[in-house]
Structure formats: structure tokens, C-alpha cells
A and B are shown apart, each in its own frame.
Chain A
Amino acid sequence: MAYSVLSDGTTKARATAAADRARRDPMRWVVLATLILLLAFTLFPFFLALLNAVKASAEYAVGGPLSIPRSIDLTAIEKFWTVSDFSRKLLNSLVISLGVSVLGVLISLFNAYAIGVGKVPGSRVILVVFLLGIMVPQESIIYPLYYMAKASGLYDTQLSVIIIFAVLQSAFGTYLLSTVLSTFPKEILEAAEMDGSTHWKTLWFVVVPMLRPTLMVLGTFFFIWTWNEFLIPLVMLVSNNNQTVSVAMGLTRGQNMSDPVLQASAAFLGIIPTVIFFLIFQRTLTRGIAAGAVK
């Protein structure tokens, strides 16, 4: 029997042998059917949103939510887009998520450099404190933050949200990066020291280039998590102009949304950006995780 290694490392021989045995198992079709049903249940809402977002209201009234639209009617989508100033919301979310992504990674990097490489005394305590800090509910810090933002004039600004999330997310980032950096090849750092490199130069010329996949993964996580955040942007960004997609979505309940097609459009528009991100970032994420795994 020929052996070959599958992408996950198991040998093909096993798969072949198991498949040989399994092909005679009639149950597999039942299992597959069950799984397809479950998957359909999971994905149906997405599909429904898509289906009905491009439906004309009239068609919905006649055929209901499950009818397939005879033609693509984008009025509901356009309506929601303009009414909610969606392009503005998208921009806000983008700016904030990107800002947090960059700033959060920077803070995590600096912390991790001190802890993982510098082995600053008290590192373990610092890490535990950081972790506890983010585990607790945001409700326990939201009011003071609200008050501080108002007092410092940063209320209702994107900057306040960026700073807050950069700090909060960096707790996880610090933890992850310091674990990675603590296994950074010591001899390369020593060689850099011998070559005349200072801590700062070693960080930027040696460590960061070697860490790039991990930093990209971290930044991606930060971006996605921030995009999906709700409570803090809800409280800190009170004016329509500054709200994020997540907040805008959350507030649709309060608005008059009796038109089901409009509701579907709202959901649809909320879904699209995240699906796009998922597709774009999938490659980065899998590559980054693989690079980390190889180490």
C-alpha cells in the first residue's frame, strides 16, 4: 500500500484503509443527511437575508420570505443605506478597527518585548493582572470611562474608542506575543547585541521582521474583534456621524423597521463586510497559524 502524507500529517494509508472499510457503511448517508440539515439550519438565516434583501416589497407581501425574487430589486438596500448613512458607518468602523489593530499590536509588541525577551522581573504577575483585566465585564469600567471621556473632551470621538480597545485587546496580545517571544532564538538576539544593536534597533530590525506572520494574525484578530464590539461604541459614540456598523445595527430595533424587506436589507448589509473580511483574512489567518505551528 502506498503511503503519502496528507496536509494534516496523517498518512494516506490510514485514510485508504478506513475508507475501504467505511465504504460499506450505509449509515454514512444518514449522517451526511443529518449534517447537511444542520448546516442548512445554520446557514439559512444568511441565505434568507440575501434572498429578501434583494426582493421588492410587493413580492414579499405576496410570496412571503421564502419566495425566490423574480428580479433583483435593490430599493430596500439603497433605502437602508441612505437612511442609516451606511457608508459613513462603514468608514467609522474601518477607521476604528484599523486604528485599534495597529495601536493594539504596537502596545502588545512593546509589552511582550519587555516580558518575553527582556524577562523583566514580575512578568508573571503582570501577565495575570492583564488577563484578569480583560476578563471582567466591560460594564465595570464603562461609566468611569464615559465620565473621563466627557471630562477630557474626547467623548464622542473615534480616538477614545481606539485607545480603549487598543488597551483592552492588548492584554490578549501581550499574552500571546510574550509566549512567542520567550521562545525567540536567544542566539540571534545575542548576535545582534554583539553586532552593536541596541534594544530598540534589535526590536525593529531583527525581531519584528521575524515575527511578521504572528503580528499579522494578531492584527487581524484585533480588527475583527473591534469591528464586532458593541457596548463601548454604543456608549462612547453617541452621535450618528460617529457610530460604527455594529452600533447602527444594534439600534435598528429602536427605529421603525416594520418593513421586513428593509429589515432583511439591514441584516444583509451587516453581514456583507464581515463575510468579505473573513474571506480576505482567511489566508492570513491560516498562514499565520501555520507559521506559528511550525515553530
Chain B
Amino acid sequence: MSQDIQIELLGIEKHYGAFHALKNVNLSIPKGTFVALVGPSGCGKSTLLRSLAGLEKITGGTLKIAGKVMNDVPPRSRDIAMVFQSYALYPHMTVEQNLTYSLKMHGVPKAEAKQKAEEVAVITGLSRLLDRYPRQLSGGQRQRVAMGRAIIRNPQAFLFDEPLSNLDAALRVSMRKEIRSLHDRLGATFVYVTHDQVEAMTMADHVVVMRDGIIEQQGAPLELYDRPANRFVAGFIGSPAMNFIPAIAAEDGKCLILDFGAVKQKLAISRAIEPGRTLVAGIRPEHIGVVAPGEGSFDVPIAFVESTGSATFIVAETQPELTIVETRRDRVKAGDMIGISVDPDQIHLFDASTDRLI
């Protein structure tokens, strides 16, 4: 028996005049999943979210929520709540009034609404702030009110539009945990838009990577990390970004000739490739090991070194540059030569013209 599909997007198209914002987007979200929509600016993730909410009207395709077609249904009838990037709190209303506005709109009696507000305030840690006005709250508190406003409606699904981007780094980390645990507690479907792939990776059950209006790849976070379907996803997921080196398959089909411009290096791979094929080798910085010169596959000079105390970032002076991350303190410095060692299983091969994973 397949899981209940909460939200279904079939062939979604969205045009803004001449601009094609969403191109044949297909997405199935089972009930209770935490889905992250992630991608660079302008990729269409916010447009998709707003289309889900009903704030944008889609120009093509079918949108179903809980099995019912919702294309022409206005936002207020979709039973979906949204947490906005700027929180969008009503400035002239107290926290309690902000929370209960939706209940007021649906004719819930005042006493009942007040009680619900108090319950939600406990969940979101706002109990002592119910009489305050938004201007008297900190950014983090306002964020909680925005979430509380969504929670109190007990909707089928929650939509989040980059809710943490206005918070400082430390707050962002703690709020990530809170939002995730809120999801686990409520068991509701969360659709979460962010441009920060770390957020997506740490919070979501299912990550959808978008670019230019299409879904490049979707899957569990680690799936995207381990097996990116194309060069874009490979470079987008993971930080620091994957290294890409142009290469040609060697004559014996078991090695790559890495093209570092003037210098060519040989690197063993774990599978057979037709000789002479042009491709791009992708290796994550964390999968490159530093050994003494001569002891690895090849040697490179160091351009500069950065240390955070717990990790060392080494940038090799090659063309293209190689970024290496070591989770230990290295005693190398700029100008040193180091040996490069790579686990052949961790080398991703992308076709040079299609950018797809081979």
C-alpha cells in the first residue's frame, strides 16, 4: 500500500509573460515528509512554493493536495499554512492577535481561540510574549510567532519560504533544530525553501534541487551527496564545492589523464571507461588525502592554507585549482609540495558535453 501522497505536482508550468519560471515540474510528496526545495536565486523554488500556496496561479499542469485538484482554489481554501521570509506579522496586532487572526477568519469563538493561542505559545516558547507587539520582539521571536501562526491552524501542510535567512548564524543553527523537531512532533508535511544547501541537507527527508525552473535531481540528502546526477547538483551540494577537473580517459581505459593546463596527471579510477572519452572528473575536497610528496597519485604545489583549528583547507596551485579539506591539523604551508591521494570510488565522472553522471 503506497503511502498517502499529500502533495502532487504534475507537469507544472509557470510563465511570467515571456519568462518561463517553471518548466514541467513533477513532484510527489508523501504525507509527513520534510521536503526541501533548494537551488540558486532565480531557480524557481519560491515560485513553486507560492504556487503550492495559491499565491501564484500556475499556467499549466495539475496541482493536487490530498488527492483533490487545487489549481483554481484560492489560498484560503487550501488548508495550507505559510511561514514567510520576512515573517509578515501584523504590526498593529499583539502576538496573541497575530496567532488567532486565522481562527477569527474562520469564525472560531474567542475563548476557544485564546486557549489555542496559549497552547501554541507553549509549543513555540512564546508564552510570556502574548501581549507584546511585533516591534517589541527580536528576530528570533518574530520567527516563532510566524511559525505559531501557521501551527495554530493545524493545516495539512506547512510551507516555509526561506524562514531563517534573516537570522544570524548562531540563531540559524538552533532554529534549524527546532524546526526539524517541530516537524517530528507534529508529523505534518513540511515544504521548505532555502538557498542554503546545508539547511536542506541537515533538515530534510527529501531534497529537491532546482535550477532554471526544472528539477535537476531529487532524493534523500545523502543520495544527492553520494550520487549527484549531474555536474550542477554535484557542485551545488556539499561545501566546499566539489573540484571539477577536465580529463580524458586513458588508452587503457582504467585511468584518467587529468588536464591541469600545462601539466597532465594520471589518476586511477575504479571502473572501465572507453579510451579517449572526454569528461570531467569530480572529486570532493574531503575525499582528497594529503600525503608526502611522491607517495600519492601525483604531486601539487600549495597556493595557500587556511586553518579553522579543527580542519585545514588547502588550495593547490593548479589550473583548475584543487580545494582540499582535511579534518586534522596539517603542518603544510604555502609553497610546499604535497602528494595527492584519492580513493578511486570517490571519483565522479561527468560527460564533458552533457554534464551528466556517467
Answer yes or no: A and B touching, Cβ < 8 Å.
Answer: yes
Closest to A195 in B: B102
- Determine, out of B34-42, B82-90, B287-295, the stretch whose residues face the partner at the interface: B82-90
Interface secondary structure of B, over-half rule: loop
CA distance A192 to B89 in the complex (A): 9
Is residue A209 contacting chain B, with contact meaning CB distance below 8 A? yes
B88 with A188: CB separation less than 8 A: yes
A206-B90, A210-B92 known; A192 vs B84 contact (CB < 8 Å): no
Interface flag for B14 (CB, 8 Å): no
B84 touches which of A187, A196, A197, A209 (Cβ 8 Å)? A187
Question: In the complex, are the beta carbons of B55 and A192 less than 8 A apart?
Answer: no
Given A185-B88, A187-B88, A206-B90, CB of A193 within 8 Å of CB of B55 = yes
**Chain A contacts for B102, CB-based, 8 A:** 194-196
B75 adjacent to chain A (CB < 8 Å)? yes
Bound form: Cα–Cα A194–B90 in Å: 13
Contacts of B149 in A (CB 8 A): 191, 195
Q: Chain B residues near A78: list those with CB within 8 A.
A: none
Q: Which of A187, A190, A205, A210 contacts B101 (CB 8 A)?
A: A205
Q: Which residues of A contact B342 (CB under 8 A)?
A: none
Residues of chain B with a CB closer than 8 A to A210's CB: 91-92
Contacts of B76 in A (CB 8 A): 193-198
Q: Is B185 an interface residue (CB 8 A)?
A: no
Q: In the bound complex, what is the Cα–Cα distance between A190 and B46 (angstroms)?
A: 14
Assembly CA distance A192 to B91 (angstroms): 12
Q: CB distance A194 to B53 under 8 Å?
A: yes
Bin the interface of chain A by size: 10 to 19
Contacts of B75 in A (CB 8 A): 190, 193-194
CA distance A125 to B76 in the complex (A): 32
Interface residue? B18 (CB, 8 A):
no
Cβ < 8 Å to B, chain A residues 168-212: 185, 187-188, 190-198, 201, 205-206, 209-210
> Which residues from chain A contact B91 at a C-beta distance below 8 Å?
188, 210
Which of B80, B86, B89, B106 is A194 in contact with, Cβ under 8 Å?
A: B80
Expressed in whole angstroms, the minimum distance between the Cβ of A94 and any Cβ of chain B is 30
Q: Which residue of A lies closest to B104 (CB)?
A: A205
Asked if A196 and B106 sit within 8 Å, CB to CB, the answer is yes
Provide the bound-state CA to CA distance between A158 and B307, in Å: 82
Set of chain B residues within 8 Å of A205, measured between Cβ atoms = 101
Q: Are A201 and B88 in contact (CB under 8 A)?
A: no
Q: Does B81 contact A (CB under 8 A)?
A: yes
Question: How far is the CB of A188 from the nearest CB of chain B, in Å?
Answer: 5
Cross-chain contact of B105 among A190, A196, A209 (Cβ < 8 A):
A196
Query: Which chain A residue shows the least CB distance to B76?
Result: A196
Tell whether, in the assembled complex, residue A195 and residue B92 are in contact, meaning their CB atoms are under 8 Å apart: no
CA A185 to CA B84, docked complex, whole Å: 12
Does B84 contact A195, Cβ atoms closer than 8 Å?
Answer: no
Say which residue of B54, B81, B86, B92 sits within 8 Å of A187 (CB atoms).
B86
Q: Flag if B82 contacts A194 (CB, 8 Å).
A: yes
- A195-B102, A197-B105, A205-B101 are known contacts. Are A190 and B90 too (CB-CB below 8 A)? no
Kindly list chain B residues whose C-beta atoms are within 8 Å of the C-beta of A195. Answer: 76, 101-102, 105, 149, 153
Question: Which of chain B's residues 40-95 have a Cβ closer than 8 Å to chain A?
Answer: 53-55, 74-76, 80-82, 84-86, 88-92
Q: How close is B63's CB to chain A, nearest CB, in angstroms?
A: 16
A209 to B134, CA, bound (A): 15
The chain B residue with its CB closest to the CB of A189 is B88
Task: Give the chain A neighbours of B84 by CB distance below 8 A.
Answer: 187, 190-191
Within the complex, the shortest CB–CB distance from A287 to chain B, in Å, comes to 16
Q: Which of B88, B89, B153 contacts A190 (CB 8 A)?
A: B88
CB pair A197–B101 under 8 Å, yes or no, is yes
Q: In the complex, A117→B153 CA distance in Å? A: 26
- CA separation between A242 and B289, bound complex, in Å? 96
Residues on B with beta carbons closer than 8 Å to the beta carbon of A206? 90
**Alpha-carbon distance between A209 and B84 when the two chains are bound, in angstroms:** 21
B92 contact from A190, A192, A209, Cβ within 8 A: A209
Q: Which residue of A lies closest to B153 (CB)?
A: A195
Q: How far is the CB of B166 from chain A (nearest CB, A)?
A: 12
Beyond the given pairs A188-B90, A195-B153, 12 more chain A to chain B contacts, judged by CB atoms under 8 angstroms and listed by A's residue number, are A187-B85, A188-B89, A188-B91, A190-B88, A191-B89, A192-B90, A193-B54, A194-B55, A195-B102, A197-B101, A209-B92, A210-B91
Pairs A–B under 8 Å by Cβ, sample size 28: A185-B86, A185-B88, A187-B84, A187-B88, A188-B88, A190-B53, A190-B75, A190-B82, A190-B84, A190-B88, A191-B82, A191-B90, A192-B101, A193-B55, A193-B74, A194-B75, A194-B80, A194-B102, A195-B76, A195-B101, A195-B105, A196-B102, A196-B106, A197-B76, A197-B101, A201-B105, A209-B92, A210-B91
